[in-house]
Amino acid sequence: MSTRLQREIEKRRTFAIISHPDAGKTTITEKLLLYGGAIQVAGAVKSRKADRAARSDFMEMEQQRGISVSTAVMSFEYGNQAMNLLDTPGHNDFSEDTYRTLTAVDSVLMVIDSTKGVEAQTRKLLDVCKLKKTPVITMMNKLDLEGMEPLDLIDNLEKELGVECVPMTWPIGKGKEFKGVYDLRSKEVHFYLSHRQDRKNELEKIDLYSEKAEALIGISEVAKLREEIEMVRELTPDMDLRRFNSGEITPVFFGSALNNFGVQTVLEAFGEIAPAPGPREAASRIVEPDEEKFTGFVFKIQANMDRNHRDRMAFIRICSGVFNRGMTLRHVRTGKDSIIRNALTFMARNRNLVETAYPGDIIGIPNHGTIRIGDTFTEGEDVRITGVPSFAPELFRRARLRDPMKAKALGKGLTEVCEEGAAQLFRPLSGSDYIIGALGELQFQVIASRLLNEYRVDASFEGIPRNVCRWVIADDETKQAIIKRYERDLFYDNSQNLCILSDNLFRCNQIADKFPDARLSKIMEIQ
């Protein structure tokens, strides 16, 4: 291993932001980009409809509704470190895209709305992090609004999520009385200025036990804060990197992302305590980041990111080695080698050609329909990175065209949109219907909108009497026997995996009883 490769690995931090909708995730993303120098002005949430190139939400529906329904990848530098930030969907209907994104990161920023505490979507996402033992840093957001008491927030997080909290900062007041935070590491007070939204909204840092602190905060309030700080130190565990890296504890910061207070402290924490890129599991062995040979896997495909390009982009997380522009990579699933001359990095709508990239970096390569989510690329070795999941949908709709002459365009549009993984496309073994499976109603609205805007296809979706999906895991002989007997219940997904779509679990259980050598699964590892 070269010294340069090791140095580049150690300087990288690849992380995702997760939260319940409206907790302030996109606002925090903007402010992180501000500190990284990627943008010069941070737009408030209310101005998200404006055409800001720095914003991570690029789809028309996202702009109209103020929600994130796709994963954006943004790279920037902070200090001497290279940050790769993945801004994930906040809406529950698009959680599958987030689950896959979490396979491509080394750590996570969890945003909690301090006026509400832990909410349902946060719970689900944290469960995925715990399953993968992903380190999580927490930011309690919206301290400038009237919300829960800080100790109650800590207690709420620990009880709801089953992870111990280690406060790194502590708020001084809340709502209209929010004055700033006390940094438990540096033992300094950071004062809050509510009228500033740029990166300079803090007064000089001062010692809590100084006369200046008493003058600015008030003698009685300082005394109360000092007592509270001592109690927090006694009641909460110490920061332990081993426990943090295994997902047992989470460092907690307090602030207001909208007013840009506390965000820089969180960003600095990722540089100080978040892990650099680590090893990845493959089907045959463990892939170490400091290996000389390149390996990477596709965790996301995005179509038509830019209407001027009309493209599809495969996002690859680099797991080992060095990517150099013009190198030859093997697409392991197809066995084909390709020279990659036009790999890109992204800053929302901005795209730049990649000359060199290292483990932890995310690169995009144009996809002409041959690349799928879960595919591995190497410098020749037939190794396959594992652990990229697909989940059984819960809602199913049949696509219906208003113009029968658009059938070909409908097939193309549905195939390409569903290749991105936010919804799944099924075709019956007998028949020609296009069946879409999704986790929520909003996905069908997004697909209909994208078909109209990007493919000029006016389609609607109607319900069908099916609400259960299970993939059939079996050898070819068993599959053929199942097909012969239950053809009307069987479908192929977009990757040609055999599955059952039924109106009840009884049918699935019946098939399982008759074919004990087959396994019916709610989760399919993407092949």
- Helices and strands per DSSP (H, E), number in the chain: 14, 33
Bigger pLDDT: 301 vs 350:
301
86 inside domain: no
286 located within any domain: yes
Question: Percent of the chain having pLDDT more than 70?
Answer: 87
- Using the 3D structure, point to which of 219, 238, 273 is the last residue of a domain: 273
> What's the Cα-to-Cα distance from 502 to each of 103, 263, 454, 470, rounded to whole Å?
30, 48, 32, 9
Residues 154 and 16 grouped into a single domain: yes
Whether 205 and 190 have beta carbons less than 8 Å apart is answered as yes
Distance, CA of 181 to CA of 157 (rounded, Å): 19
Q: Work out the end-to-end distance of the chain between its first and last CA atoms, rounded to an integer number of angstroms.
A: 30
Please indicate, yes or no, whether residues 427 and 516 belong to a single structural domain of this protein: yes
Neighbouring CB atoms inside 10 A of 195's CB total 6
Residues 20 and 144 in one domain: yes
pLDDT of residue 111: 95
230 & 140 share domain: yes
Shared domain for 224 and 338, answered yes or no, is: no
Q: Are residues 286 and 374 in the same domain?
A: yes
User: Judging by DSSP bridges, how do beta strands 12-19 and 107-113 pair with one another?
Assistant: parallel
Pair (353, 407) in one structural domain: no
The SS3 assignment for 87 reads strand
Reported as a pLDDT band with limits 50, 70 and 90, residue 61 is very low
Domain edge (last residue) among 245, 273, 301: 273
Tell me how many domains the chain contains: 3
pLDDT tens-digit map of 447-502: 999 899 889 999 999 999 999 999 999 999 999 999 999 999 999 998 889 999 99
What CA–CA distance (Å, rounded) separates 286 from 277? Answer: 13
CB 374 within 8 A of CB 296: no
> What would the mean pLDDT of 147-156 be, rounded to a whole number?
95
Q: Which three-class secondary structure state does DSSP give residue 94?
A: helix
Same structural domain, 147 and 248: yes
418: helix, strand or coil: helix
pLDDT in tens, 282-295: 999 999 999 999 99
Phi/psi for 269 (5° steps) reads -65, -35
Secondary structure (DSSP) of 165-194: EEESEEEES-GGG--EEEETTTTEEEEB-T
pLDDT of residue 94: 52
Task: Give the β-pairing of 376-378 and 295-303.
Answer: antiparallel
Spell out the residues 6+ positions from residue 25 whose beta carbon is closer than 8 angstroms to its own. Answer: 17, 18, 19, 68, 87, 88, 90, 111
To the nearest 10 degrees (0 to 180), the angle between helices 441-455 and 407-419 is 120
Residue 335 forms part of a structural domain: yes
Q: Hey, what amino acid is at 22? A: D
For residue 55, the model assigns a pLDDT of 44
Q: Is residue 76 part of a domain?
A: no
The per-residue pLDDT for range 27-46, each reduced to its tens digit, is: 898 888 888 877 766 553 33
pLDDT in tens, 189-203: 888 765 454 544 455
Which of 348, 378, 408 terminates a domain? The answer is: 378
Residue listed under structure tokens 């081993």: 242
φ/ψ (deg, to 5) at 260:
60, 40
Say whether both 175 and 259 belong to one domain. Answer: yes
What pLDDT, on a 0 to 100 scale, did the predictor assign at position 369? 75
92 lies in some domain: no
Q: Which residues contact 62 (CB under 8 A, 6 or more apart)?
A: 68, 69, 70
Do 148 and 51 lie in one domain? The reply is yes
| Residue 80 lies inside a defined structural domain of this protein | no
CATH code, domain with 420? 3.30.70.3280
| The one-letter amino acid at 50 | A
Q: Are 322 and 374 in contact (CB under 8 A)?
A: no
60 vs 368, residue with greater confidence: 368
Residue 386 covered by a domain: no
pLDDT above 60 for 146: yes
- C-alpha–C-alpha distance, residues 400 and 189, integer Å: 61
Q: Which residues pair with 314 in a beta bridge?
A: 301, 365
The pTM is what? Answer: 0.81
Same-domain pairing of 51 and 187:
yes
503 φ, ψ to 5°?
-90, -5
348: confidence class by pLDDT, cuts 50, 70, 90: low
Torsion from C-alpha of 108, 113, 119, 123, nearest 10 degrees: 10
What region does 517 belong to: left with phi over 0, alpha with psi -120 to 50, or beta? alpha
Amino acid at 375: D
**For 73-112, what is each residue's pLDDT tens digit?**
888 889 899 999 987 765 555 566 777 888 999 999 999 9
| Per-residue model confidence as pLDDT tens digits over 366-419 | 887 788 889 999 999 999 999 887 788 889 999 999 998 999 999 999 988 887
Same domain, residue pair 186 and 320: no
Give the dihedral of Cα atoms 126, 130, 133, 137; nearest 10 deg.
Answer: 30
Query: For 238-292, what is each residue's pLDDT tens digit?
Result: 999 999 999 999 999 999 998 889 999 999 999 999 999 999 999 999 999 999 9
463 within domain boundaries: yes
276 vs 147, 296, 344, 359, CA distance in Å?
35, 16, 22, 9
Please say whether the beta carbons of 184 and 170 come within 8 A. Answer: yes
Give the CATH number of the domain where residue 226 resides: 3.40.50.300
| Range of the structural domain that residue 464 is part of | 392-525
Q: Would you say 67 and 346 are in contact if contact means Cβ atoms under 8 Å apart? A: no
